[in-house]
Protein backbone atom coordinates (compact mmCIF):
# COMPACT_ATOMS: atom_id res chain seq x y z
CA UNK A 1 0.00 0.00 0.00
CA UNK A 2 1.65 3.20 -1.19
CA UNK A 3 1.18 6.99 -1.18
CA UNK A 4 2.85 9.11 -3.80
CA UNK A 5 3.71 12.74 -3.04
CA UNK A 6 4.16 15.18 -5.94
CA UNK A 7 4.64 18.96 -5.95
CA UNK A 8 3.46 21.06 -8.87
CA UNK A 9 -0.19 22.16 -9.04
CA UNK A 10 -1.64 22.17 -12.53
CA UNK A 11 -3.35 25.55 -12.48
CA UNK A 12 -3.22 28.28 -9.89
CA UNK A 13 -1.49 27.18 -6.70
CA UNK A 14 -3.92 25.55 -4.31
CA UNK A 15 -3.63 22.88 -1.66
CA UNK A 16 -5.40 19.71 -2.81
CA UNK A 17 -7.14 19.32 0.55
CA UNK A 18 -9.09 22.51 -0.22
CA UNK A 19 -9.84 21.75 -3.89
CA UNK A 20 -10.44 17.99 -3.75
CA UNK A 21 -13.89 16.78 -4.83
CA UNK A 22 -13.55 13.43 -3.05
CA UNK A 23 -16.50 13.04 -0.68
CA UNK A 24 -18.51 15.59 -2.69
CA UNK A 25 -21.12 15.35 -5.40
CA UNK A 26 -22.42 17.51 -8.23
CA UNK A 27 -26.16 18.03 -8.07
CA UNK A 28 -27.90 18.69 -11.38
CA UNK A 29 -31.38 20.15 -11.05
CA UNK A 30 -31.58 22.13 -14.27
CA UNK A 31 -29.73 23.86 -17.12
CA UNK A 32 -28.23 26.54 -14.86
CA UNK A 33 -25.64 24.04 -13.58
CA UNK A 34 -22.78 23.59 -16.06
CA UNK A 35 -19.57 21.74 -15.26
CA UNK A 36 -16.92 21.83 -17.97
CA UNK A 37 -13.25 20.97 -18.14
CA UNK A 38 -11.12 24.03 -17.47
CA UNK A 39 -9.69 25.46 -20.73
CA UNK A 40 -6.17 25.23 -19.29
CA UNK A 41 -6.54 21.47 -18.78
CA UNK A 42 -5.38 19.91 -22.02
CA UNK A 43 -6.44 16.40 -22.98
CA UNK A 44 -3.54 14.95 -25.00
CA UNK A 45 -3.74 12.70 -28.02
CA UNK A 46 -4.66 9.28 -26.65
CA UNK A 47 -4.25 5.92 -28.37
CA UNK A 48 -5.83 4.16 -25.39
CA UNK A 49 -7.96 5.35 -22.49
CA UNK A 50 -10.23 4.51 -19.58
CA UNK A 51 -13.03 6.64 -18.14
CA UNK A 52 -15.16 6.03 -15.04
CA UNK A 53 -18.14 7.99 -13.77
CA UNK A 54 -20.32 7.48 -10.69
CA UNK A 55 -23.84 8.84 -11.11
CA UNK A 56 -27.40 8.66 -9.85
CA UNK A 57 -30.57 9.74 -11.64
CA UNK A 58 -33.41 11.30 -9.66
CA UNK A 59 -35.92 11.41 -12.52
CA UNK A 60 -36.68 8.83 -15.21
CA UNK A 61 -35.75 10.78 -18.34
CA UNK A 62 -33.12 11.03 -21.05
CA UNK A 63 -29.72 11.84 -19.50
CA UNK A 64 -26.08 12.56 -20.25
CA UNK A 65 -23.26 11.50 -17.94
CA UNK A 66 -20.46 13.24 -19.81
CA UNK A 67 -19.55 14.27 -23.34
CA UNK A 68 -16.15 14.98 -24.92
CA UNK A 69 -16.20 16.72 -28.31
CA UNK A 70 -13.45 17.35 -30.80
CA UNK A 71 -13.01 21.07 -31.50
CA UNK A 72 -11.98 20.24 -35.09
CA UNK A 73 -14.50 17.69 -36.36
CA UNK A 74 -17.17 18.73 -33.81
CA UNK A 75 -18.25 15.11 -33.54
CA UNK A 76 -18.95 13.33 -30.27
CA UNK A 77 -15.58 11.78 -29.58
CA UNK A 78 -16.49 10.12 -26.30
CA UNK A 79 -19.48 10.08 -23.98
CA UNK A 80 -22.02 8.22 -21.89
CA UNK A 81 -25.78 8.81 -21.60
CA UNK A 82 -29.04 6.95 -21.83
CA UNK A 83 -32.55 6.55 -20.50
CA UNK A 84 -34.38 4.09 -18.26
CA UNK A 85 -34.03 1.19 -20.69
CA UNK A 86 -30.81 1.87 -22.58
CA UNK A 87 -27.24 2.93 -21.95
CA UNK A 88 -25.71 5.04 -24.72
CA UNK A 89 -21.98 5.17 -25.39
CA UNK A 90 -20.44 7.52 -27.97
CA UNK A 91 -17.04 6.84 -29.51
CA UNK A 92 -15.67 8.68 -32.56
CA UNK A 93 -19.09 9.85 -33.73
CA UNK A 94 -20.72 6.43 -33.42
CA UNK A 95 -23.39 5.68 -30.84
CA UNK A 96 -23.70 2.26 -29.19
CA UNK A 97 -27.01 1.34 -27.57
CA UNK A 98 -26.85 -1.20 -24.76
CA UNK A 99 -30.16 -2.50 -23.44
CA UNK A 100 -29.97 -2.43 -19.66
CA UNK A 101 -32.03 -0.87 -16.89
CA UNK A 102 -30.61 1.91 -14.75
CA UNK A 103 -33.09 2.59 -11.98
CA UNK A 104 -33.62 6.04 -10.51
CA UNK A 105 -32.27 6.99 -7.06
CA UNK A 106 -29.54 4.36 -7.25
CA UNK A 107 -25.81 4.95 -7.70
CA UNK A 108 -24.15 3.34 -10.71
CA UNK A 109 -20.47 3.11 -11.61
CA UNK A 110 -20.02 3.15 -15.39
CA UNK A 111 -16.60 2.66 -16.98
CA UNK A 112 -15.45 2.36 -20.56
CA UNK A 113 -12.06 1.49 -22.02
CA UNK A 114 -10.70 1.74 -25.56
CA UNK A 115 -7.47 0.81 -27.31
CA UNK A 116 -6.39 1.70 -30.85
CA UNK A 117 -4.01 -1.26 -30.93
CA UNK A 118 -6.74 -3.73 -30.01
CA UNK A 119 -9.52 -1.71 -31.70
CA UNK A 120 -11.77 -2.68 -28.83
CA UNK A 121 -14.33 -0.80 -26.73
CA UNK A 122 -15.37 -2.33 -23.41
CA UNK A 123 -18.19 -1.01 -21.21
CA UNK A 124 -18.59 -1.93 -17.53
CA UNK A 125 -21.50 -1.37 -15.15
CA UNK A 126 -20.70 -1.70 -11.44
CA UNK A 127 -17.64 -3.76 -12.34
CA UNK A 128 -19.52 -6.18 -14.61
CA UNK A 129 -18.70 -6.27 -18.32
CA UNK A 130 -21.73 -5.13 -20.34
CA UNK A 131 -20.28 -5.37 -23.81
CA UNK A 132 -17.06 -5.71 -25.79
CA UNK A 133 -17.08 -4.08 -29.21
CA UNK A 134 -14.39 -4.87 -31.78
CA UNK A 135 -14.07 -1.87 -34.08
CA UNK A 136 -12.01 -3.26 -36.94
CA UNK A 137 -12.90 -1.36 -40.10
CA UNK A 138 -11.14 0.56 -42.81
CA UNK A 139 -10.28 4.02 -41.58
CA UNK A 140 -11.04 3.22 -37.93
CA UNK A 141 -9.80 6.07 -35.69
CA UNK A 142 -6.40 5.49 -34.15
CA UNK A 143 -6.50 8.20 -31.49
CA UNK A 144 -8.75 10.41 -29.40
CA UNK A 145 -8.67 14.02 -30.61
CA UNK A 146 -6.62 16.29 -28.35
CA UNK A 147 -7.73 19.47 -26.58
CA UNK A 148 -11.43 18.77 -26.91
CA UNK A 149 -14.27 20.12 -24.78
CA UNK A 150 -15.69 18.07 -21.91
CA UNK A 151 -18.90 18.61 -19.97
CA UNK A 152 -20.49 16.66 -17.11
CA UNK A 153 -24.21 16.02 -16.83
CA UNK A 154 -25.09 17.60 -20.18
CA UNK A 155 -24.32 17.37 -23.87
CA UNK A 156 -22.93 20.48 -25.56
CA UNK A 157 -22.03 22.22 -28.79
CA UNK A 158 -18.65 23.87 -29.33
CA UNK A 159 -18.57 27.24 -31.10
CA UNK A 160 -15.55 28.54 -33.04
CA UNK A 161 -15.40 31.43 -30.56
CA UNK A 162 -14.42 28.89 -27.93
CA UNK A 163 -17.73 29.06 -26.10
CA UNK A 164 -19.62 25.96 -25.03
CA UNK A 165 -23.40 25.86 -25.46
CA UNK A 166 -25.26 23.22 -23.44
CA UNK A 167 -27.84 21.19 -25.34
CA UNK A 168 -31.32 20.81 -23.90
CA UNK A 169 -33.52 17.76 -23.62
CA UNK A 170 -30.93 15.22 -22.51
CA UNK A 171 -29.29 16.81 -19.47
CA UNK A 172 -28.90 14.74 -16.32
CA UNK A 173 -31.37 15.36 -13.53
CA UNK A 174 -29.51 13.71 -10.72
CA UNK A 175 -26.04 13.59 -9.18
CA UNK A 176 -22.46 12.77 -10.14
CA UNK A 177 -20.18 11.55 -7.36
CA UNK A 178 -16.96 10.83 -9.24
CA UNK A 179 -15.35 11.30 -12.66
CA UNK A 180 -11.85 10.23 -13.73
CA UNK A 181 -9.98 9.69 -16.99
CA UNK A 182 -6.75 7.79 -17.61
CA UNK A 183 -4.48 7.61 -20.65
CA UNK A 184 -4.35 3.83 -20.43
CA UNK A 185 -6.69 0.97 -21.29
CA UNK A 186 -7.17 -0.76 -17.95
CA UNK A 187 -8.21 -4.41 -17.86
CA UNK A 188 -11.27 -5.56 -15.91
CA UNK A 189 -9.00 -6.72 -13.08
CA UNK A 190 -7.11 -3.43 -13.04
CA UNK A 191 -10.32 -1.41 -13.04
CA UNK A 192 -11.59 -3.33 -10.04
CA UNK A 193 -8.44 -2.32 -8.13
CA UNK A 194 -8.77 1.38 -9.08
CA UNK A 195 -11.72 2.10 -6.81
CA UNK A 196 -10.28 5.30 -5.34
CA UNK A 197 -7.32 5.95 -7.65
CA UNK A 198 -7.14 9.40 -9.25
CA UNK A 199 -7.14 9.85 -13.00
CA UNK A 200 -3.93 10.89 -14.73
CA UNK A 201 -5.64 12.79 -17.60
CA UNK A 202 -8.64 14.27 -15.80
CA UNK A 203 -8.86 14.38 -12.01
CA UNK A 204 -11.71 14.75 -9.51
CA UNK A 205 -10.47 18.15 -8.33
CA UNK A 206 -11.88 21.68 -8.54
CA UNK A 207 -8.65 22.96 -10.09
CA UNK A 208 -9.53 21.11 -13.30
CA UNK A 209 -13.08 22.37 -13.73
CA UNK A 210 -15.15 25.47 -14.49
CA UNK A 211 -18.57 25.25 -12.87
CA UNK A 212 -21.82 27.14 -12.48
CA UNK A 213 -22.99 25.46 -9.27
CA UNK A 214 -20.88 24.42 -6.28
CA UNK A 215 -20.23 20.81 -5.25
CA UNK A 216 -22.02 19.50 -2.17
CA UNK A 217 -20.53 17.31 0.58
CA UNK A 218 -22.00 13.82 0.88
CA UNK A 219 -20.83 11.61 3.73
CA UNK A 220 -22.23 8.57 1.91
CA UNK A 221 -19.54 8.94 -0.76
CA UNK A 222 -16.88 7.22 1.30
CA UNK A 223 -13.79 5.83 -0.43
CA UNK A 224 -11.24 4.02 1.74
CA UNK A 225 -7.78 3.84 0.15
CA UNK A 226 -4.17 3.07 1.04
CA UNK A 227 -2.13 4.34 -1.93
CA UNK A 228 -1.43 8.02 -2.57
CA UNK A 229 0.80 10.38 -4.49
CA UNK A 230 1.71 13.77 -3.09
CA UNK A 231 3.37 16.66 -4.93
CA UNK A 232 5.04 19.50 -3.02
CA UNK A 233 7.76 22.11 -3.06
CA UNK A 234 9.94 21.72 0.02
CA UNK A 235 12.04 24.34 1.78
CA UNK A 236 15.18 23.40 3.74
CA UNK A 237 17.12 26.08 5.63
CA UNK A 238 20.36 25.20 7.42
CA UNK A 239 21.78 26.97 10.45
CA UNK A 240 25.17 26.78 12.21
CA UNK A 241 26.67 23.71 10.50
CA UNK A 242 27.44 24.07 6.76
CA UNK A 243 27.98 20.31 6.48
CA UNK A 244 24.24 19.78 6.87
CA UNK A 245 23.75 21.60 3.57
CA UNK A 246 25.53 18.81 1.67
CA UNK A 247 23.29 16.02 2.97
CA UNK A 248 21.26 14.20 0.26
CA UNK A 249 17.84 15.82 -0.17
CA UNK A 250 16.16 12.41 -0.32
CA UNK A 251 17.60 11.53 3.08
CA UNK A 252 16.59 14.87 4.60
CA UNK A 253 13.06 14.43 3.24
CA UNK A 254 12.74 10.85 4.50
CA UNK A 255 13.92 11.78 7.98
CA UNK A 256 11.44 14.66 8.05
CA UNK A 257 8.46 12.58 6.91
CA UNK A 258 9.22 9.62 9.18
CA UNK A 259 9.23 12.04 12.12
CA UNK A 260 5.99 13.89 11.29
CA UNK A 261 3.83 11.03 9.97
CA UNK A 262 1.99 8.75 12.43
CA UNK A 263 2.75 5.04 12.46
CA UNK A 264 -0.09 4.15 10.09
CA UNK A 265 1.58 6.19 7.29
CA UNK A 266 4.78 4.61 6.01
CA UNK A 267 7.14 6.25 3.52
CA UNK A 268 8.09 4.08 0.54
CA UNK A 269 10.00 5.95 -2.18
CA UNK A 270 11.17 9.56 -2.51
CA UNK A 271 12.22 11.30 -5.73
CA UNK A 272 13.70 14.79 -5.84
CA UNK A 273 13.39 16.63 -9.15
CA UNK A 274 13.80 20.32 -9.96
CA UNK A 275 15.32 22.90 -7.63
CA UNK A 276 15.08 26.67 -7.40
CA UNK A 277 16.85 29.29 -5.26
CA UNK A 278 14.09 29.87 -2.70
CA UNK A 279 10.57 28.71 -1.85
CA UNK A 280 9.31 31.89 -0.11
CA UNK A 281 7.32 29.82 2.37
CA UNK A 282 6.83 32.78 4.69
CA UNK A 283 8.01 35.90 2.93
CA UNK A 284 7.91 38.06 6.06
CA UNK A 285 10.32 35.71 7.77
CA UNK A 286 12.64 35.22 4.79
CA UNK A 287 14.99 38.10 5.54
CA UNK A 288 15.38 37.20 9.20
CA UNK A 289 15.95 33.52 8.44
CA UNK A 290 18.36 34.17 5.59
CA UNK A 291 20.48 36.43 7.79
CA UNK A 292 20.99 33.54 10.26
CA UNK A 293 21.22 30.69 7.76
CA UNK A 294 24.25 29.11 6.13
CA UNK A 295 22.29 27.52 3.28
CA UNK A 296 18.84 27.37 1.74
CA UNK A 297 17.38 24.83 -0.65
CA UNK A 298 14.03 24.63 -2.39
CA UNK A 299 13.13 21.51 -4.34
CA UNK A 300 10.25 19.58 -5.82
CA UNK A 301 9.75 16.01 -4.64
CA UNK A 302 7.53 12.99 -5.15
CA UNK A 303 7.00 10.61 -2.27
CA UNK A 304 5.26 7.24 -2.25
CA UNK A 305 3.65 6.33 1.08
CA UNK A 306 1.09 3.85 2.36
CA UNK A 307 -1.78 4.23 4.81
CA UNK A 308 -2.79 1.18 6.83
CA UNK A 309 -5.64 0.59 7.39
CA UNK A 310 -7.21 2.12 4.30
CA UNK A 311 -8.74 5.48 5.15
CA UNK A 312 -11.25 7.80 3.48
CA UNK A 313 -9.49 9.78 0.74
CA UNK A 314 -10.80 13.15 1.87
CA UNK A 315 -9.55 12.53 5.42
CA UNK A 316 -6.09 11.46 4.24
CA UNK A 317 -5.77 14.51 1.99
CA UNK A 318 -6.69 16.86 4.83
CA UNK A 319 -4.48 15.20 7.47
CA UNK A 320 -1.36 14.83 5.32
CA UNK A 321 -1.63 18.41 4.06
CA UNK A 322 -1.85 19.66 7.64
CA UNK A 323 1.19 17.63 8.75
CA UNK A 324 3.30 18.79 5.82
CA UNK A 325 2.48 22.46 6.47
CA UNK A 326 4.00 22.45 9.96
CA UNK A 327 7.58 23.70 10.24
CA UNK A 328 9.92 20.93 11.41
CA UNK A 329 13.41 21.44 12.86
CA UNK A 330 16.14 18.85 13.42
CA UNK A 331 19.97 19.03 13.56
CA UNK A 332 19.94 22.77 12.83
CA UNK A 333 17.81 22.22 9.72
CA UNK A 334 14.33 23.71 9.30
CA UNK A 335 12.11 21.84 6.84
CA UNK A 336 8.69 22.85 5.59
CA UNK A 337 6.47 22.28 2.56
CA UNK A 338 5.00 25.18 0.62
CA UNK A 339 1.37 24.93 1.70
CA UNK A 340 -0.25 25.87 -1.63
CA UNK A 341 1.92 23.38 -3.53
CA UNK A 342 0.86 20.30 -1.56
CA UNK A 343 -1.08 17.91 -3.78
CA UNK A 344 -2.19 14.61 -2.22
CA UNK A 345 -3.60 12.19 -4.80
CA UNK A 346 -4.98 8.67 -4.34
CA UNK A 347 -2.92 6.48 -6.68
CA UNK A 348 -3.30 3.14 -8.38
CA UNK A 349 -1.94 0.03 -6.72
CA UNK A 350 1.49 -0.54 -8.20
CA UNK A 351 2.42 -3.98 -9.59
CA UNK A 352 4.85 -4.81 -6.77
CA UNK A 353 2.41 -3.81 -4.05
CA UNK A 354 -0.21 -6.05 -2.50
CA UNK A 355 -2.97 -4.78 -0.30
CA UNK A 356 -6.67 -5.00 0.52
CA UNK A 357 -9.29 -4.15 -2.10
CA UNK A 358 -10.70 -0.61 -2.07
CA UNK A 359 -13.58 0.24 0.23
CA UNK A 360 -16.04 2.21 -1.88
CA UNK A 361 -19.50 3.02 -0.56
CA UNK A 362 -22.22 4.66 -2.62
CA UNK A 363 -25.11 2.17 -2.45
CA UNK A 364 -24.04 0.54 -5.73
CA UNK A 365 -26.10 -2.22 -7.24
CA UNK A 366 -24.74 -5.04 -9.35
CA UNK A 367 -25.88 -6.34 -12.69
CA UNK A 368 -26.40 -9.98 -13.61
CA UNK A 369 -26.71 -9.26 -17.31
CA UNK A 370 -24.27 -10.85 -19.68
CA UNK A 371 -22.62 -9.82 -22.92
CA UNK A 372 -23.97 -10.46 -26.41
CA UNK A 373 -22.82 -9.78 -29.95
CA UNK A 374 -23.10 -6.37 -31.55
CA UNK A 375 -24.02 -5.24 -35.02
CA UNK A 376 -21.11 -4.78 -37.45
CA UNK A 377 -19.68 -1.27 -37.81
CA UNK A 378 -21.03 0.96 -40.57
CA UNK A 379 -19.39 3.48 -42.84
CA UNK A 380 -19.59 7.09 -41.62
CA UNK A 381 -22.19 9.36 -43.21
CA UNK A 382 -22.34 13.15 -43.40
CA UNK A 383 -25.35 15.33 -42.67
CA UNK A 384 -26.67 17.92 -45.14
CA UNK A 385 -24.49 20.48 -43.39
CA UNK A 386 -21.36 18.45 -44.04
CA UNK A 387 -20.87 17.52 -40.37
CA UNK A 388 -20.61 13.85 -39.35
CA UNK A 389 -23.73 12.09 -38.17
CA UNK A 390 -23.69 10.13 -34.90
CA UNK A 391 -24.16 6.53 -36.02
CA UNK A 392 -25.84 3.98 -33.78
CA UNK A 393 -25.04 0.35 -33.02
CA UNK A 394 -27.47 -1.59 -30.84
CA UNK A 395 -26.31 -4.18 -28.35
CA UNK A 396 -28.95 -6.55 -26.93
CA UNK A 397 -28.18 -7.98 -23.52
CA UNK A 398 -29.77 -11.28 -22.63
Average pLDDT over residues 171-200: 95
The pLDDT tens digits for 2-13 are: 333 333 333 445
The pLDDT tens digits for 68-102 are: 998 887 789 999 999 888 999 999 999 999 999 89
**Quick one: pLDDT at residue 244?**
62
Q: Point out the least confidently predicted range of 51-60, 257-266, 330-339, 373-382.
A: 373-382
Is residue 315 pLDDT above 50, yes or no? yes
> Of all residues in the chain, what percent carry a pLDDT higher than 90?
60
Average pLDDT over residues 141-157: 92
**Quick one: pLDDT at residue 345?**
95
Give the model's confidence band at 290: pLDDT under 50 very low, under 70 low, under 90 confident, else very high.
low
Is residue 379 pLDDT above 60, yes or no? no
Distances from the Cα of 34 to the Cαs of 27, 30, 39, 354, in angstroms?
10, 9, 14, 40
Is residue 277 pLDDT above 90, yes or no? no
Q: Point out the least confidently predicted range of 100-114, 231-245, 372-386.
A: 372-386
Is residue 149 pLDDT above 60, yes or no? yes
CB 82 within 8 A of CB 21: no
Average pLDDT over residues 333-342: 91
Is residue 243 pLDDT above 70, yes or no? no
Is residue 63 pLDDT above 70, yes or no? yes
**Quick one: pLDDT at residue 135?**
84
Give the model's confidence band at 264: pLDDT under 50 very low, under 70 low, under 90 confident, else very high.
very high
Q: Point out the least confidently predicted range of 176-180, 225-229, 340-344, 347-351.
A: 347-351
- List of domains in the chain: 24-218+368-395 (2.60.120.200), 226-359 (3.30.70)
**Quick one: pLDDT at residue 240?**
64
The pTM for the full model equals: 0.81
- What's the mean pLDDT when you consider all of the chain? 82
**Quick one: pLDDT at residue 130?**
94
**Quick one: pLDDT at residue 163?**
82
**Quick one: pLDDT at residue 355?**
44
Average pLDDT over residues 274-291: 63
Is residue 105 pLDDT above 50, yes or no? yes
Is residue 390 pLDDT above 90, yes or no? no
Amino acid sequence: MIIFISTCPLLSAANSSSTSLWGKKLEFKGPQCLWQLHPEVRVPVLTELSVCILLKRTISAEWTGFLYRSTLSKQKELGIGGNSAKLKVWLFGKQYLIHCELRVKEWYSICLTWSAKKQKLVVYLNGTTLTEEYLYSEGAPQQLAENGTLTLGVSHIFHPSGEIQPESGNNLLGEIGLFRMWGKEWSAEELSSLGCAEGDVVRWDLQQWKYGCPPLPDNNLYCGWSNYKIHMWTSVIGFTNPENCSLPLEGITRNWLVNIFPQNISVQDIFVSSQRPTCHVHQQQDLAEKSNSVCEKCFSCEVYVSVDPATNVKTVQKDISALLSIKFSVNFLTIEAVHDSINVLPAEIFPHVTGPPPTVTASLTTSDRGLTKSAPPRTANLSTTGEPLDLTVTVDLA
